[in-house]
Every structure is written in structure tokens, then in C-alpha cells.
Amino acid sequence: MMPDLGKYTDTVLTAYAASILLLALLVALSLWRGRRMRIEMEQLEARTRRNG
């Protein structure tokens, strides 16, 4: 299934691995921070409602 990349196998695979890793990190960090902010805001809003 893997195509024959000849003498450039390392070059092509390194480019793909580096790019996919950077994109995955960006998405994961964005989702992690988004989730944290959502939870924190909900907790604060609930506390504000309770305290009037």
C-alpha cells in the first residue's frame, strides 16, 4: 500500500510527520483551552446567579 518514495522516503515522510504533528497540536491546544474557558465561564455564571 505504501508508495515507493525511492531515495526521498525520509524527506517526504519527515515533511508529512512534522506538518501533521503541528496541525494536531494546534487543534488539540485550541480544543483544550476552549473547553477550559467554557467550564470556567459556566462555573462563574452559576456563582454570580447564586450570589445575586
Tell whether the torsion through CA atoms of 44, 48, 49 and 51 is positive or negative.
positive
Cβ 24 vs Cβ 31: under 8 Å: no
- Per CB under 8 A, 7 contacts other proteins: yes
The torsion angles phi and psi of 24, rounded to 5 degrees, stand at: -65, -40
Interacting residues with other proteins between 13 and 42 (CB under 8 A): 14-16, 18-19, 22-23, 25-27, 30-31, 33-34, 37-38, 40-41
Taking the complex as a whole, the smallest distance from the CB of residue 46 to other proteins amounts, in Å, to: 11
- Per CB under 8 A, 11 contacts other proteins: yes
